[in-house]
Structure 1
Amino acid sequence: MNQPKKPSQIAVWVIFSLIIGSFMASCNTGTIEPESVALGTEYFPLETGRYIDYQVEDIQFTLINSPDTSRYLIRELIADKFVDINGDSAFRLERLRRPNTSVAWELDSVWVAKRSSVRAVVIQNNQPLVKLVFPLENNRRWDGNILNGFAENFYEIQNLGQAFSIDTFNFAKTLKVVQANDSSLVGIDQRNEIYAVDVGLVYKDSVVVTLCTATPECFNQVESGRKSIQKVIGFGKL
């Protein structure tokens, strides 16, 4: 004759049944989203061999001369992975440049890119800039200059998860980072970047100019500054 189960045995059996049940439920409904997706780090992928090609238009302004426009191509290639002086995993970001597709790429500069569960950082010209912060949220703001000695510059996430199209490219999920949106009688500072899932930076624009106020004749004309547009024309992995 079977002996009745003791209360402790019943408790163990109930717990075991709950564990098995939850496991089976997860199998039936699909896998749980990985942490990277929950954070949004897929907007800033880092993997050796990845590259993005850009077309760049750069316009320099002066009050006494006509605008000086230059057009060229940039390739950002994620090269070697290494451990930086802070003990963080980082990637060498090689920036290659050429005037057009008929000319070979030449190394223009080397930046560093790194990403944690908290933020994505690009070190350009020896100055670290916090490009994104995780987890991603619409209207989230942070100081992009918090890791360098420059004045505060607050960035803001907008349009998180929205589609974005440029030329022949259609990206299902992107976000916009507004780095500056200031204008006054003396100047304009407007800078934006757009990131796409599993690609990274696909578009950026910048207008940073000083306006003339010295005389009525030059009022509201651009005295000096720069306007640039950088847009993706290709990406992949070598």
Structure 2
Amino acid sequence: MRRALLLLVVLAGLVAACEDKYKDPDPKAMGYDYYPLEEGDWRIYNVTDIRYMSNVGDTTRFQLRERVDTTFLDQTGALNYKIIRSVRDEEGDEWVDDSVMTVVKTELNVILTKNNTKYVKLVFPIKEGKEWVGDAYNNNLAFDYAEKVRNGKELYSFSNIGVSYDLNGISYPNTVEVIHGDYHSDDVNLDERKEVYAKDIGLIYRYHNVIVFCNQTESKDCVYGIGFKLHGHERHEELISHGKE
């Protein structure tokens, strides 16, 4: 009898351990709410895009909307969210569809596909300093000057988790930064790339600034002087409104 009771206790303990091991992860602890994703969600950004050539910047300003249109299952059975990007010159103009992206969000990561290229935008759980390969599923290679590289691919990382972020007069109380590039060399290259996500909202700011300065390789004897921008691309996407249809 004692042996039977002991066996039952052991079995009960094993069942409880298994249930605890395989229970669903806590969404808040994992950071899923930094990337909300539902049909009808939309976000509008003010975009400033600057193309540099021979130290002259050509600036274009417009508005960009990303709207979660529909969902579908792909060949692997994964749920895909179809996101339509539209543009207009300024508020009040008609939106013109520009491109289509798809997003798959799982318990492990968020994968965005744009122009037939996949990017790992986030990984879970979100933790300070955590690194991953954003280009794990495409052919992109790291820049020669990249400092954090794994198997020839540049590493992304989390920073400033849970801190407030001020943008266009609005303070977002809980955000996380995803660092894509962080390299400074005034006499050769500048590479600053990051995205900022706000809890329960999603992407609020995308920053891209990659500049090649006058240098011995691309301009013999650097005749224009240090700090001269041979070519580059600077882009800011700032959230101005968001909602759900």
Tell me, yes or no, if the aligned pair for 2:103 and 2:112 is still in contact at 8 Å: yes
Separation in structure 2 between the aligned mates of residue 191 and residue 141 of structure 1, nearest angstrom: 15
After superposition, what is the alpha-carbon deviation per residue over 1:103-129, rounded to whole angstroms, capped at 9, x for unaligned? 111101101111101111111111111
- Report what 1:45 is aligned to: 36
5 Å-filtered alignment, 1:25-40, equals 35-40=26-31
Quick check: 92-101 or 209-218, which moved more?
209-218
Separation in structure 2 between the aligned mates of residue 122 and residue 224 of structure 1, nearest angstrom: 28
Residue aligned with 1:42, SS: helix
5 Å-filtered alignment, 1:1-238, equals 35-63=26-54, 66-151=56-141, 152-184=153-185, 185-213=187-215, 214=219, 215-238=222-245
CA-CA distance at 1:34 after TM superposition: 6.6
Separation in structure 2 between the aligned mates of residue 206 and residue 71 of structure 1, nearest angstrom: 15
**Which amino acid in structure 2 is aligned with residue 142 of structure 1?**
W
**Which amino acid in structure 2 is aligned with residue 104 of structure 1?**
E
Separation in structure 2 between the aligned mates of residue 34 and residue 154 of structure 1, nearest angstrom: 25
Separation in structure 2 between the aligned mates of residue 218 and residue 127 of structure 1, nearest angstrom: 37
Separation in structure 2 between the aligned mates of residue 149 and residue 183 of structure 1, nearest angstrom: 25
Separation in structure 2 between the aligned mates of residue 172 and residue 84 of structure 1, nearest angstrom: 36
**Which amino acid in structure 2 is aligned with residue 161 of structure 1?**
G
CA-CA distance at 1:94 after TM superposition: 0.5
> CA 1:170/1:223 → structure 2, altered by over 3 Å: closer, same or farther?
same
- Rg larger in 1 or in 2? 1
Residue aligned with 1:38, SS: helix
CA-CA distance at 1:183 after TM superposition: 2.3
After superposition, what is the alpha-carbon deviation per residue over 1:76-98, rounded to whole angstroms, capped at 9, x for unaligned? 00110111233211100110100
**Which amino acid in structure 1 is aligned with residue 115 of structure 2?**
N
CA-CA distance at 1:237 after TM superposition: 0.2
Instruction: Give me the identity figure in percent.
Output: 28
If the length of structure 2 is used for normalisation, what is the TM-score?
Answer: 0.81
Structure 2 residue runs without a partner (length 5+) = 17-23, 142-152
If the length of structure 1 is used for normalisation, what is the TM-score?
Answer: 0.83
CA-CA distance at 1:220 after TM superposition: 2.4
Structure 1 residue runs without a partner (length 5+) = 1-6, 20-32
Quick check: 163-172 or 152-161, which moved more?
163-172
Residue aligned with 1:46, SS: coil
